[in-house]
Amino acid sequence: MIELLKDLIRIKSDDVEGANEALLFCKEWLEQRGIMATLYENESHLMLVAEIGSGEECVVWNGHVDVVPGNDSQFEPYIDDDFLYGRGSADMKAGVAAMMVAFYELSKVSQTLTKKVQLHIVTDEETGGDFTSKYLVDKGFTGDFVICGEPTHLHIGLQAKGIIQFDVHVKGKSSHGSRPWEGVNAIEQAFTFDKEMRNLSFLTASNAFYDYPSLNLAKIHAGARYNVVPDACIISYDLRFVPGQVEKEIVNEIHQMADQLFPGTILVVHATAPAVTTSENDPYVAKLHSVTSEITKEPTNLFGQHGSADTRFYAEKGAGAIEFGPSGADWHGEKEYVSISSVEKYKNILVSFIVN
């Protein structure tokens, strides 16, 4: 399995071509072991689906082979003690390699399985997931329970925050820069708007996994000349809301404040993603929890992710979807690594979760 992981890391899958090459490598690896994998292509992004077992229930394992950009040396894996270093080692070629090996092991006892296991390997998670995981979900590949093998230190990432990215077009009135009192400075208005928004109640929401939502002022577009009072300012936000909050209510609250204090302001929602709200009472979660603690001999935590992953596409269709994967560190960073022993345990957990 670790050789497979090293082979995967060597494929420089930080662009569409490289990710497709890694995907085809996975397909061949599976086929050499007698596992039929169906290839799908969407807007030149490749993905694959393989299925074993039978029955009413279906568990999906989802893994992505694309990685964030790295320099050439990061695609040369090396081992130091229990750590395997390389771009994508943790995020998430270790998860993919373990899923492939676990899938292969299960394929040998496929006749005895009382549920279906579907393996989804995809190639665009790091750039949004719209072309592959979302595509598969839209095609009907969902399942009852979905494990995305992102690195979670063998703890269970039950929830993920939702996303609202939006632009606020703040209006002012231009005048000569030497007589600013004759105009209304849109940039200054935008600052006031920002302050008012941060006092709104939607930013105080919390639940068992999160203390509050987050709000990042990501972009400002305004102003052209020193001697002109700007009459327009666009401020752009990335809001991550807590599962349980309602997207529409948040937008309404901002709207109401804007209408009251900043007439003429326009709010444009750029993109949204729902929160992942898998319940801690989900029977699959309970089972995974006990299988994991048994194999790791350590307590397994349930936690909420701040960022979002491909889980959201499945969760949107009603499947219980979680992030669950091996231990590692510094993903998206210089010294990314994964703990080899945790990858072994992870593979055993995946198998045990299905057969027991």
| Residues at the contact surface with Zn ion, assessed by CB under 5 A | 91-92, 150
Q: Cβ(229)–Cβ(172) under 8 Å?
A: yes
Give the shortest CB-85-to-Zn ion separation in angstroms: 17
Q: Which is nearer to Zn ion, 150 or 231 (CB)?
A: 150
SS3 label, residue 219: strand
Give the shortest CB-309-to-Zn ion separation in angstroms: 6
Query: CA separation (Å) from 67 to 18, 216, 294, 310, 335?
Result: 9, 24, 31, 14, 14
Q: Which is nearer to Zn ion, 46 or 92 (CB)?
A: 92
Longest dimension (CA), the chain: 82
Which element (helix H / strand E) includes 292?
helix 283-296
Q: Which is nearer to Zn ion, 92 or 239 (CB)?
A: 92
Q: Which is nearer to Zn ion, 135 or 202 (CB)?
A: 135
Q: Which is nearer to Zn ion, 51 or 91 (CB)?
A: 91
By beta carbon distance, the residue nearest Zn ion is 91
Give the shortest CB-64-to-Zn ion separation in angstroms: 6
Give the shortest CB-179-to-Zn ion separation in angstroms: 54
Give the shortest CB-308-to-Zn ion separation in angstroms: 11
- For the chain, the 3-state helix, strand and coil shares in percent, each to the nearest 5, are 35, 30, 35
Task: Tell me which residue of 293, 332, 329 sits closest to 82, measured CA to CA.
Answer: 329
Interior angle at CA 13, CA 11 and CA 14, nearest 5? 140
